[in-house]
Structure 1
């Protein structure tokens, strides 16, 4: 299937590892130009070099997405360098799973406000695109109460609500907005590898919850993100795509 991504310009936050890195790679393989950011400047440089080998424009910058000025500057500079913006993917999370005020502050500043600021900064450019799409990475923790802290789940649920509102508001302008809610996703350097090594009891508990007997792979989530963001999914907006291997039990009506 041709996803219609050749020559499109895509911005991805948190694009150096896990789901974000695989999104960047798949977008590039489909012929899209990609701009990434992450806090790890060295990781950004390595990722850009890898993406360029796929024959597309690839740029990036070390950015703390909780810094409004740094984030908005990266968006505007990326639009100038690529020649516009067609797609934005908000992928960064503070992963604030504790039950304390610090988790609420981190979740609001990173998960929620970085997504809002990314959308706001990109909006003037998305309005000029004929295939504009916004995709926010939420979580199954936003669908049902689980072993994560209340702040993490609350902000992940808020992202779904925010995207639904954007979808309704922007439909007339031809701008789509959706969320993807991954289940537990395992990759080297990720939170679940850390938990496996340092809290094996919790890891075993989480693994046992999934009827597939395993956790997701980042590329499995990324494929859904890329399709949902692409012109091939042009009539899909206001949707929360759950990719969790049947982990969650709630029925999404």
Structure 2
């Protein structure tokens, strides 16, 4: 299937590791020019070197999405440099699980406002595109109550609501969809840390999935890339759960 992404311009937040890195790679492999950001300047530089070395058209910047001015400046700079924006993927999360006041604030600034500010900054460019698409990354923790039912799960649920609202408000102009992954394992990721630091929780989480494993970042990235592409031209307002049958609720 031709995803019709050749020559498209995409922005991805949190693009140096895990799902975000896999999304950057997958979009670029489909022919898109991809600009991504992350907080760690060294990780950004390393990722740009590896991806350009693999023949991909990418550029990166050190940006904290919780800094609204910096995020808006990055989006505008990318729009100017690339000559427009066709796709934005809001991927960054504070991964704040315990219900402390600090975690509630961090989740609001990073997960929620980071998504809203990215979309609002990119919206003029997206509306000028003939294939504008927004993809937000939520989680199965936003869909059902689990061990992350505090700040993380609450704001992941809010992101789904926000995105579906965008789909209706922007219908016919810009598509907006959410991908909700289940547990995703990659070296250096949260589940790799839990495997070492809290093996009981890791074993419990692994045992809940009937596939007997967690997802790989590339498996999530392919779902994101399809929804971001013109090939998904009539899909908007959807929350695509990619969890290997981990969740049991019926999504009506």
**How far apart are residue 123 of structure 1 and its match?**
0.7
Matches within 5 A, 1:204-243: 204-243=203-242
The answer for the alignment partner of 2:102 in structure 1 is 102
Q: Could you tell me how far apart the structure 2 residues matched to 1:148 and 1:124 are? A: 35
SS in 2 for 1:11: strand
In the TM superposition, 1:79-98 aligns within 5 A as: 79-98=79-98
Match of 2:46 in 1: 46
Aligned equivalents of 2:102, 2:246: Cα separation in 1: 28
Rounded Cα–Cα distance in structure 1 between residues aligned with 2:128 and 2:115: 20
Tell me the secondary structure at the aligned position of residue 241 of structure 1: strand
- Report SS of the residue matched to 1:187: coil
**Secondary structure in 2 matching 1:96:** coil
Q: How far has the Cα of 1:81 moved from its partner?
A: 1.3
Could you tell me which residue of structure 2 aligns to residue 145 of structure 1?
145
The normalised TM-score by structure 1 is 0.97
Moved more, 97-106 or 64-73: 97-106
Q: Secondary structure at the match of 2:187?
A: coil
How much is the aligned-residue C-alpha RMSD, in angstroms? 0.9
Cα distance in structure 1, aligned partners of 2:179 and 2:172: 22
Q: Which residue of 1 is the match for residue 26 of structure 2?
A: 26
Aligned to 2:164: 164
- 1:250 is paired with a residue whose SS is coil
Cα shift at 1:14? 0.2
Per the alignment, residue 177 of structure 1 pairs with: 176
Contact 1:57 1:82 in 2 (8 A): no
Residue 18 of structure 1 and its aligned partner are, at CA, apart by 0.4
Aligned to 1:68: 68
Return the TM-score normalized by structure 2.
Answer: 0.98
Contact 1:96 1:149 in 2 (8 A): no
- My pick for the range that moved more, 104-113 or 55-64, is 55-64
- List alignment gaps of at least 5 residues for structure 1: none
| Post-superposition offset of 1:172 | 2.9
Instruction: Name the counterpart of 1:196.
Output: 195
1:246 paired with 2:245, answer: yes
Q: CA deviation at 1:57?
A: 3.0
The structural deviation recorded for 1:40 is 1.2
Query: Does the CA contact (< 8 Å) of 2:10 and 2:85 recur in 1?
Result: yes
Q: Structure 1 CA distance, aligned partners of 2:191 and 2:54?
A: 29
Q: CA deviation at 1:53?
A: 3.6
Q: What stretches of structure 1 move > 6 A for 4+ residues in a row?
A: none
Given that 2:141 and 2:149 are in contact with CA atoms closer than 8 Å, whether structure 1 keeps it comes out as: no
Give unpaired runs (5+ residues) of structure 2: none
- Mapped contact 1:211–1:246 kept (Cα < 8 A): yes
Q: Distance in 2 between the 1:59 and 1:138 partners? A: 25
CA distance in 1, matches of 2:76, 2:84: 9
Q: How many residues align?
A: 252
Once the 2 structures are TM-superposed, how far is the Cα of residue 52 of structure 1 from its aligned partner? 2.3
User: Does the 8 Å CA contact 1:195/1:203 hold for their aligned counterparts?
Assistant: yes
In 1, Cα distance between equivalents of 2:154 and 2:35: 29
Superposed CA offset, 1:49-79 (max 9, x none)? 2332454431111111100011111101111
Contact 1:29 1:54 in 2 (8 A): no
